[in-house]
Structure 1
């Protein structure tokens, strides 16, 4: 008996149990809900929901096999899209790495590191300046026109303008404070951006005739907008422009800055990217490529 214990005989060593898929999912999603914005948390929750449809919630994480995981992602790619499968893969890889770091006895080998799937990405519509101003002029209220101007002149993300407070607008210093969670650690951070002369004049006039804590309250509720799904689409149709979204305006802002020969570092500051490569993706380097092909003429 002593010799068997020293040699680790299988008959005498107790089995070591790892956490179940449901336990792992619950712990990670509790963490994700506290750390990430709602959209990111919803993506992670959906990835786990689909995973638990393919595997028993009571199954142990140690029993997951890379081949079975690949088959799961393959079904997602076929039923949804390669982009959706890759997004689930990214979120589950991150969840597994979190488990390795925070759950005792969690297996280190990550079974979700499978091959990625081909993606047929549809380019995000980016308006021209003429299309933007046509839509701006088609807006039915001065508040809506100012909101669109903020998106263009501040290169803002959707929620940053929806949740803008009066205290975030410093008319004396001619600057606006924008809050975001688009950071690696998920923390709420802010940046002050200067206002253009046109934006400053419009904002001064707007705040003089409005009350309440919000700069752009929903007229029906007095609270910030949560979503305006069809608003911009209706304006585009009214103006006779191809449809684009609020994030398309952010891309337009970057293009205007580059055409004006603003330095890439200044563009990065205005877009508030922590990584310069992210800014470069916005820029697309079209102007430098256009100059390069002039050698063929």
Structure 2
């Protein structure tokens, strides 16, 4: 496809991205978060293709297997993690397959692209006592009834209680919470829904936020979002990440990201006697293999299970 100027090329690129986004959302059933991630990855690929390309060329001109491999190798050379490279490879394969079927490419140039094995390191996990110190620090900070502090306390309690992803937590609406049953409806990857229980400490923090914190931040734009930012809109995940980092420092425990708190919840469930299938349901994993990679099994639990189950233990 030949284009007369850079403006036409940019317009063609935007049209391509919009069509791909519709495919991901309507035919693949991906969540808005996943669609945004795919578009970001493909956008960087298209930026790479545009470097040095003649102005009259279309946005996919020069796209072949060698170019894809060179692009990924360049990112690897800049220190990008294997997990990110694996995600980008998956996005590129999906995009190239779609572009070929839609007639934008003469062949599926990404079909033979291999995905690098992701890193096997696991997120930081807090011990049970350290987790208690962290949540106590959040509660003590919220004693001043500052709406932001009440929100952070409730958000951290819910992250640990439910094992939800940070993107799932900020997507929760007030009607998704059943305070009487102490359950919350969570929408995960691929718009799959699951109902997750939470305990009394999380309920107490959530009640304080809903009664004394959220009303102070609510605005006409708040709609039904459970957790709000300082300006009344749905809170940004980065805001809660920052709060978690500050509270780990205040509590004197190891620093960790929200995903580490999700991993901590899963590890503590297993250590407390939960089976892998239950943890799989709580976390919203499609495959049990994902749960097995995602969780620690402590030596003590392994020894106890072996001693109980093996006939000649």
Q: Which shifted more, 136-145 or 59-68? A: 59-68
Kept in 1, the 8 Å contact 2:92–2:110? The answer is: no
Is 2:182 the partner of 1:174?
yes
- Give the C-alpha shift of residue 97 in structure 1: 0.7
- Give the C-alpha shift of residue 270 in structure 1: 0.7
Aligned partners of 1:55, 1:116: CA distance in 2, in Å? Answer: 27
Alignment of 1:85-96 (within 5 A): 85-96=85-96
Aligned partners of 2:193, 2:298: CA distance in 1, in Å? Answer: 30
TM-score (ref. length: structure 2) = 0.72
Kept in 1, the 8 Å contact 2:12–2:59? The answer is: no
1:42 is matched with which residue?
Answer: 40
Kept in 2, the 8 Å contact 1:47–1:91? The answer is: no
Alignment of 1:111-190 (within 5 A): 111=110, 113-116=112-115, 123-139=122-138, 140-141=141-142, 142-180=150-188, 182-183=189-190, 188-190=191-193
- Give the C-alpha shift of residue 190 in structure 1: 2.8
Instruction: Give the SS at the match of 2:289.
Output: helix
Aligned partners of 1:24, 1:51: CA distance in 2, in Å? Answer: 14
1:203 is matched with which residue?
Answer: 206
- Give the C-alpha shift of residue 170 in structure 1: 1.7
How many residues align structurally? Answer: 273
Instruction: Give the SS at the match of 2:261.
Output: helix
- Give the C-alpha shift of residue 281 in structure 1: 1.7
- Give the C-alpha shift of residue 111 in structure 1: 4.7
Kept in 2, the 8 Å contact 1:18–1:62? The answer is: no
1:31 is matched with which residue?
Answer: 19
TM-score (ref. length: structure 1) = 0.75
2:244 is matched with which residue?
Answer: 232
Kept in 1, the 8 Å contact 2:97–2:108? The answer is: no
- Give the C-alpha shift of residue 152 in structure 1: 0.7
Q: What's the CA shift string for 1:97-126, capped at 9, x where partnerless? A: 11222227x433425634555776764222
- Give the C-alpha shift of residue 87 in structure 1: 3.8
Is 2:51 the partner of 1:53?
yes
Q: What's the CA shift string for 1:109-153, capped at 9, x where partnerless? A: 425634555776764222222222222222222432221110011
Aligned partners of 2:300, 2:53: CA distance in 1, in Å? Answer: 50
User: Which sections of structure 2, spanning at least 5 residues, go unmatched?
Assistant: 4-8, 26-31, 143-149, 219-223
- Give the C-alpha shift of residue 79 in structure 1: 2.7
Instruction: Give the SS at the match of 1:230.
Output: helix
Kept in 1, the 8 Å contact 2:173–2:226? The answer is: yes
- Give the C-alpha shift of residue 155 in structure 1: 0.7
RMSD value, Cα: 3.6
Is 2:220 the partner of 1:221?
no
User: Which sections of structure 1, spanning at least 5 residues, go unmatched?
Assistant: 1-16
Kept in 2, the 8 Å contact 1:54–1:72? The answer is: no
Kept in 1, the 8 Å contact 2:162–2:282? The answer is: yes
